[in-house]
Amino acid sequence: MRIFLTKNYDEMSKRAADLIASAILLNPNCTLGLATGSTPIGTYQELIKKYRQGILDFSGLTTVNLDEYKGLAPDNPQSYRFFMQSQLFNHVNIDISRTFVPDGLNEDSNAECERYEQIIKSAGGIDLQLLGMGPNGHIGFNEPDVEFIPETHCVKLTQSTIDANKRFFEKEEDVPRFAYTMGIRTIMLARKILIIVNGEKKAQIVKDAFFGPITPKVPASVLRLHPDVILVGDEAALSLI
Ligand code: F6R
C-alpha cells in the first residue's frame, strides 16, 4: 500500500483527482468505481475543473457506484444517484447510460444484487475503485461484521452509520435502514484502489484499519490484502500513524 500525506482537504482532493485523471488519460475507456459521501466531493470538483480545462474526456468511461439506499428513488435528493448527478455527472461529458448505481427502488434484493454484479462483470471489472471510509471502518456499506460478505448484497445499516449519515436528512427517522452495496470481493477485485480520508474524526479508524489486525470487524482492513492500494489522507486523518 502506498500512502500519500497531504496538508488538508483541498490537497487531498487535488491529489486524488490527479490519480483518477491519470487512470482516465491512460485508458479513456476504463471503468471507474465511484463513491459518495462528503470526502469525495472535492475530488469530483477537481475532476470537473480538469474537464473544463480540456484535460479530461469522460465520454468513453463506464462508472459503477459502490452503493445506494434501498427505497430511495433516483430523483430523491438523498439518493446516491442524485448525488452523483449533481456532484459530477451533470458537469462532464459522461454518457449517463454507462453510469451505474444500484437501483434503490428494486424491492427484490436478490435480483438487484445479481443484476449489479452482472453489470460490473459485463463492464470488464473495475479498473480503479475510489473509496471513502466510515468512522467504523466501513467501505461501501460493508459494516463491521463477523465475516466479510463477498458480493453485492442488501445490508441493514448500523446505528453508527445512521448517526453518521443523518446530517444529510431532515430527521433521523428519514435515514433509510437498508442499502445495497458492493461486497468485499467485488471491491477487492478492482485492479486498483484509491481510498481517501480526511479530518481528525477518521484518525483512529485509519490507524485501526491500516495498522491493526485484518478483521471483518474493521472492513477497510481487508484492503491491506490488495496488491495495489493508494491511501491519500490529510494530516488530521493520518495524525495517529
Ligand atoms: C459512500 C460510501 C461510504 C462512505 C463513507 C465515508 O458511497 O460508500 O462508505 O465512503 O461512509 O463517508 P464520508 O465521506 O461522508 O465521511
pLDDT tens sequence across 48-71: 999 999 999 999 999 999 999 999
What pLDDT shows up at residue 106?
97
Note the pLDDT of residue 201: 96
For residue 134 and ligand 1, the question of a CB distance below 6 A is answered with yes
d(CA 190, CA 170): 35
130 φ, ψ to 5°?
-90, 135
Catalytic residue, chosen from 46, 67, 103, 208, is 67
Report the SS3 class of residue 142: strand
Stretches where the chain sits below pLDDT 50 are none
Active site residue 57: no
**Active-site residue, 65 included:** no
User: Is residue 138 flagged as an active site residue?
Assistant: yes
Query: Checking DSSP bridges between strand 62-65 and strand 67-69, what pairing results, if any?
Result: unpaired
What is the CA(189)–ligand 1 centre distance, in A? 19
Ligand 1 proximity of 233 Cβ (cutoff 6 Å)? no
The beta strand positions in the chain, using DSSP E, are 2-6, 31-34, 62-65, 67-69, 99-100, 128-131, 153-156, 178-181, 192-197, 229-234
**Residue 67: active-site member:** yes
Whether 38 lines ligand 1, by a CB cut-off of 6 Å, is yes
Residues 108, 109, 113, CA angle at the centre, nearest 5°? Answer: 120
Answer yes or no: are the C-beta atoms of 203 and 236 closer than 8 Å: yes
Catalytic position from the list 65, 68, 112, 138: 138
Looking at ligand 1, which residue's alpha carbon is closest to its atom 4? 132
Rg of the chain over CA atoms, in angstroms? Answer: 17
Question: Are the C-beta atoms of residues 73 and 37 closer than 8 Å to each other?
Answer: no
Which residue type does 141 have?
Answer: F
In the block, which residue shows the cell 471507474?
A: 32
CB 6 within 8 A of CB 234: yes
Q: Give distance in angstroms: CA of 30 to centre of ligand 1.
A: 23
Q: Which of 37, 12, 216 is CA-nearest to residue 133?
A: 37
- The reported pLDDT for the residue numbered 158 is 86
Contacts of residue 203, defined as CB under 8 A and 6 or more positions apart, other chains included, come to 236, 237, 238, 239, 240
* Contact by Cβ (8 Å): 230, 17: no
Place of cell 456532484: 87
At 197, give phi and psi (nearest 5°). -145, 140
